[in-house]
Amino acid sequence: MPNADLLARSLSSVWHPCTQMKRHEALPLVPIARGEGVWLYDFEGRRYLDAVSSWWVNLFGHCNLRINAAITEQLGKLEHVMLAGFTHEPVVQLSERLAQLAPAGLGHCFYASDGASATEIALKMSAHYWRNLGKPQKTGFISLQNSYHGETLGALSVTDVALFRDAYGALLKQNATVASPDWRNAEAGESAADYALRCADMLEAHLRQHHDIAAFIVEPLVQGAAGMAMYHPAYLQRVGELCSQYGVHFIADEIAVGMGRTGTMFACEQADIRPDFLLLSKGISGGYLPLSVVMATDEIYRAFYADEAARGFLHSHSYTGNPLACRAALATLDIFVQDDVLSANRRKAAYLNRIAAPLREHPRVRNFRNIGMIWAFEVESQHPDFAQRCFALALQRELLLRPMGNTVYFMPPYVIGEEEMQILVTRTLDIVEVLA
């Protein structure tokens, strides 16, 4: 099938996400026929290096043979069964393994399909916990400025991205935001750690004045949709203390940063904290199937454990704990062990940082930053529609880049090789030269 045919049919029948559809009059959709490793191929033999891991989900490449085999094997046994009143091996194994990997004490896994649903669940569980404890007034939530926790109504109420939020303001519960510890906002001469602690003080000031707060929700170490804003782990440490002190749940949204993305299996490890809720999605299934999980502590779990049905957590999605998705997740965890992925990623990151020196030192590049397998920088450019222009120039150079404003980022699948990193860096430098 030629590309053009599929594009026309897609535009007339598919309403694409996060897209002003009229823009596709000028900027064509990219039809993808197949994927292999870090590469996506169209129907006419053109290829694109997936430097954004297909919206941050892919870990071990497209059509990974080991994950394919695991899903195929599961497909021959059980494709799905409802998880209310029933259970199956993949969901039990996955829950046990996640509990072993995560900070100790998060032994109760509640499943859904998408990241936003995990956020909804954590918010509902938190408020319901306080209600079960006789504190029904605790229904408020706090998030960071420029936070992103998903786009369903509850999740959007703790998301602070104007573009996603403005049209729906009237539908949303009003929650508070506090200053982001994003080190780009530090004063001249102020260290990232000092700025992080100053922001934690601002959170404390808020907590001192408001006594109806159920939970504080945060993306540990990197605020992805804010433009890969990075901050010092001291913030998380201090906030962990404040949450205990003021009786507020700490929700760690590791949907984007979990599964090794920041260099440790979970970003929380770098601050040595144990949140009350840990949210995972995106990479958890290796980027194969929709799966999310809310990991909760014993203390949370016990507050729901009672004779009355109404004290239980009565929330469900049809595909909760889907066996195929859980098997993909188990295969993904196996690869982490078999290939010693976290060590391999450290070597890959060091290599990419070495070859990226000309990019980091480019006179038009600002705030070059890296943590684990995430890189980002701002490009000083007069171009009015930088992100879209950069995206188009990248496609011409076999790259899938998807800048946010003037922020270019790399979030490649972990299987990226040295030659592919060279392609990524040299061609991005070329694009920066064109647009700067």
Ligand X SMILES: *Cc1c(COP(=O)(O)O)cnc(C)c1O
Interface residues toward ligand X, by CB under 6 A: 114-116, 119, 148-150, 219, 224, 253, 255-256, 281-282
Mention every residue, 6+ apart, whose C-beta is less than 8 A from residue 20: none
Residue (91 or 280) nearer to ligand X, CB: 280
Residue (154 or 224) nearer to ligand X, CB: 224
8 A C-beta contact, residue 142 and residue 177: yes
Residue (152 or 353) nearer to ligand X, CB: 152
Closest approach, Cβ 374 to ligand X, in A, equals: 12
- HEC string for 146-205: CCCCCCCHHHHCCCCCHHHHHHHHHHCCCCEEECCCCHHHCCCCCCHHHHHHHHHHHHHH
Closest approach, Cβ 256 to ligand X, in A, equals: 3
8 A C-beta contact, residue 143 and residue 125: no
Closest approach, Cβ 277 to ligand X, in A, equals: 13
Residue (255 or 296) nearer to ligand X, CB: 255
Q: How far is 172 from 182, CA to CA, in rounded Å?
A: 25
Closest approach, Cβ 321 to ligand X, in A, equals: 16
| Kind of pairing between the strands at 222-223 and 213-218 | unpaired
Residue (255 or 352) nearer to ligand X, CB: 255
Name residue 404's beta-bridge partners.
407
Closest approach, Cβ 135 to ligand X, in A, equals: 27
Q: How far is 104 from 91, CA to CA, in rounded Å?
A: 19
Closest approach, Cβ 167 to ligand X, in A, equals: 18
Residue (74 or 119) nearer to ligand X, CB: 119
Closest approach, Cβ 255 to ligand X, in A, equals: 4
Closest residue to ligand X, judged by C-beta, is 115
Residue (31 or 224) nearer to ligand X, CB: 224
Whole-number Cα distances in Å, 436 to 311, 369, 379: 58, 19, 7
Helices (H), 291-436: 298-302, 323-338, 341-355, 357-360, 386-396, 418-435
